[in-house]
Amino acid sequence: MTRRDFLTSTATAGLLAGHNASASAATPPNIILIYADDLGYGDVGCYGAQRVKTPNIDSLAKRGLRFTDVHTSAATCTPSRYSLLTGEYSFRMQGARVLPGDAPALIQPGRVTIASMLKDRGYRTSVIGKWHLGLGNGETFRRPATGHRLPSVYVENGRVRNLDPKDPIKVDYKGPLDDQPTGKTHPELLKLKPSHGHDMTIVNGISRIGYMSGGKAALWDDDNMADTLTDQAVSFINRNAKQQFFLYFATHDIHVPRSPHPRFSKETEMGRRGNVIAELDWCIGKLIDTLQKQGLLQNTLIVFSSDNGAVVDDGYQDEAVTKLGAHRPNGPLRGGKYSNFEGGTRVPFIVHWPARVKPGVSDALIGQLDLVRSFAELTGAKLPGGAAPDSENVLPALLGESKQGRQLLVEQANILSLREGNWKYISPSNGPKVQVNTNTEMGNDAAGQLYDLSKDLGETKNLASENPGKVKELAARLQSIRAAH
């Protein structure tokens, strides 16, 4: 990659508040999709966490429907977000992998997404928070990424927030810039030190991936990020209280760098990682309070989930490992973020809609990419041919009116896996790779792996040698799905 200056329309991780014009209101309810970052299956109280309190998330689960077998399409963030919004498995999209902060858009103009579909149904729409799917054509825009990738600025309606035109942003991922003010030669500036791979440029005392200069007035304040994004979400709800709206609220918590507001600095005994979970819960409480004050909570469909399983040490010395104690971020599941095991893609998932959804627990097998067709059914939207090719309408299961989800679901990490009911098949580790990540746990069985999750949720006993027929059957089905479309 060559070094390029960032224009005033440059994008990176943070606030992305693009608001679309609204048509006349048509079909209830309002919809809020809350997407946490790196929150594991066991990271919140209603899924078993005890060392961190999450009363607001737990309240959604108590008053709504808590799911135990819902999956992201992949064990990392960009692929999961792509599938969530488009209804297409990310392995079909070249480039749908975790990319540096200067990648072009994965979702091109004209591509049907949840937001565009709902906009056509008269919804006012907004995305606030982490995008991580790229912007523009690679020339005049750059990719909104994660908090530990540069540049550390917010983007609002296509423009870098608070950017001084006389101080343009420059970024590079291969080497320091000539006018770069700080770098790893200044360790005394660090308040959050890297454990691996995050030692290029220091911003706000936190070492980041990539090199950056300029944009000093536009730099975000990490400690206030949750407040900033939540304030934007609250403002959007208040402005649109009298019309239908769809809000995609993609929080930064609990992704690294974990830099909670000082008021959460002693919230838990788990250090920064536990404290940002508490901060995430606070954000959700603010949204709930706003809906209540506006009289909207009863008829607002809230979906809460995460983009992949949990990871503890993901690049910073933040005491996440040493202060973990008895907490199990992925609960009873094996693996976590980057892994082909269930801990990579099975995540918390709660549906809260008092007007229609009765409280309960569901074990229906559902993929997050199913939200596209399910929301289409809910709102009466008509999807054009070719849209959301892998999404299935599982609305009855989402509303608790049926226990039946989908029959087959692909899970992606470095290789592909397939769920069929309680059977879990993992492709041979020497098979074709679809995603390259670090810290990946795949096991070491070159013949593939087979687990019966009804008896072995932790995927401890590989049954492939005992069930060669089932392995062959699921391998063929996986290949058929992969070759489709």
Q: What is the domain-level CATH number for residue 429?
A: 3.30.1120.10
Q: Is the pLDDT at 294 greater than 70, yes or no?
A: yes
Say whether both 375 and 444 belong to one domain.
no
CA distance 350 to 442: 28
For β-strands 423-426 and 416-420, DSSP reports them as antiparallel
- 340: tokens are 């082909």
Domain boundary among 398, 422, 439: 398
Confidence class for position 25, pLDDT limits 50, 70, 90: very low
Mean pLDDT is lowest, of 196-210, 379-393, 396-410, for 196-210
Question: In sequence order, what DSSP letters do the residues of 257-268 get, joined into one string?
Answer: S----GGGTTS-
- Highest mean pLDDT: which of 92-101, 207-216, 340-349? 340-349
**Does residue 315 lie within any of the structural domains?**
yes
Report how far residue 248's alpha carbon sits from residue 122's, in angstroms, rounded to the nearest whole number: 16
Residue 38 has pLDDT above 90, yes or no: yes
Q: What is the DSSP letter of 203?
A: E
Q: 337 with 75: CB under 8 angstroms? A: yes
Task: Quote the tokens at residue 269.
Answer: 């005994």
> Token pair for residue 73?
């399409």
How far is the C-alpha of 249 from the C-alpha of 252, rounded, in Å?
10
Tell me the CB-side half-sphere exposure of residue 290, using CA atoms within 13 A: 20
Helix or strand holding residue 286 (H, E): helix 271-293
Ramachandran category for residue 360: left, alpha or beta (phi over 0 → left; psi -120 to 50 → alpha):
left
pLDDT above 90 (res 466): yes
Residues 417 and 392 in one domain: no
Q: Are residues 384 and 430 in the same domain?
A: no
**Spatial CA neighbour of 114 closest among 82, 156, 142:** 82
Confidence of residue 426 (pLDDT cuts 50, 70, 90): very high
Strand ordering across the sheet containing 124-129: 124-129, 245-250, 30-36, 300-306, 349-352, 65-67, 360-362
Helix (H, G, I), strand (E, B) or coil at 50: coil
**Does residue 10 carry a pLDDT above 70?**
no
Same domain, 160 and 258: yes
Mean pLDDT for the stretch of residues 427-444: 57
Assess whether 306 and 451 both reside in one domain: no
Q: Does residue 322 share a domain with residue 460? A: no
Residue 432 has pLDDT above 80, yes or no: no
| Domain count across the chain | 2
Are 330 and 336 a contacting pair, CB within 8 Å? yes
Q: C-alpha angle with apex 471: 468 to 476, nearest 5 degrees?
A: 130
| pLDDT given for residue 28 in this prediction | 77
| Paired residues of 31 in beta bridges | 246, 301
Q: How far is CA 245 from the centre of its chain?
A: 21
Which comes out higher in pLDDT, residue 194 or 326? 326
DSSP 245: E
pLDDT surpassing 50 at residue 437: no
In this structure, the answer to whether residues 391 and 421 fall within a common structural domain is no
Please indicate, yes or no, whether residues 394 and 419 belong to a single structural domain of this protein.
no
Question: What mean pLDDT is predicted for residues 404-431?
Answer: 93
pLDDT at 458: 98
Same domain assignment for residues 76 and 133: yes
For residue 234, CA distances in Å to 64, 249, 463 come to 22, 10, 50
pLDDT of residue 182: 46
Helix (H) or strand (E) holding 66: strand 65-67
Tell me which of 369, 398, 427 is where a domain ends: 398
CB 34 within 8 A of CB 252: no
Distance of CA 201 to the CA centre of its chain: 25
Reduced to 3 states (helix: H, G, I; strand: E, B; else coil), residue 369 is helix
Closest CA to 13 of 184, 209, 186: 209
For the segment 208-226, the average pLDDT, to the nearest whole number, is: 91
pLDDT-derived band at 345, boundaries 50, 70, 90: very high
In which band, very low, low, confident or very high, does the pLDDT at 189 lie, cut at 50, 70 and 90?
A: low
Residue 181 or residue 370, greater confidence: 370
Average pLDDT of the residues in 51-57: 97
CA distance 52 to 278: 7
Boundary of a domain, candidates 398, 428, 443: 398
pLDDT at residue 436 in the model: 38
3-state secondary structure of 169: strand
Together in a domain, 376 and 434: no
pLDDT exceeds cutoff 90 at 115: yes
183 domain residue, yes or no: no
Which structural domain, as residue segments, surrounds residue 437? 413-483
Residue 204 lies in a domain: no
State the Cα–Cα distance between residues 479 and 96, nearest whole angstrom: 19
The answer to whether residues 196 and 315 touch, using CB atoms and an 8 Å cutoff, is yes
Q: What are phi and psi of 374, to 5 degrees?
A: -70, -40
Find where tokens 């990310």 sit: 90
- Is the predicted pLDDT of residue 274 greater than 60, yes or no? yes
pLDDT at 330: 98
At residue 136, the pLDDT reads: 63
Burial bucket for residue 212 (CB in 10 Å: 0-12, 13-18, 19+): buried
| Integer Cα distance of 30 and 301 in angstroms | 6
| pLDDT over 70 percentage in the chain | 84
pLDDT exceeds 60 at position 434 = no
Answer yes or no: is pLDDT of 106 > 90.
no
Strand order in the sheet with 4-6: 4-6, 169-172, 211-213
DSSP string, 246-259: EEEEE--TTSSS--
- Burial code (b: 16+ CB inside 10 Å, e: under 16) for 228-243 equals bbbebbbebbeebeee
pLDDT digits (tens, 9 = 90+) for 251-273: 999 999 999 999 999 999 999 99
Which H or E element spans position 444?
none
CA angle 399, 404, 405 (to 5 degrees): 80
List the structure tokens of 230. 């939540």
Same domain, 385 and 343: yes
Report pLDDT digits (tens) over 59-71: 999 999 999 999 9
pLDDT of residue 187: 56
Residue with tokens 């009289």: 295
The pLDDT of residue 223 = 95
Structure token digits, residue 369:
């990419």
Interatomic CA distance for residues 257 and 272, integer angstroms: 9
Same domain membership, residue 430 and residue 388:
no
On whether residue 405 sits in a domain, the answer given is no
Q: Which of 32-36, 177-181, 337-341, 419-423 has the lowest mean pLDDT?
A: 177-181
CB 356 within 8 A of CB 63: no
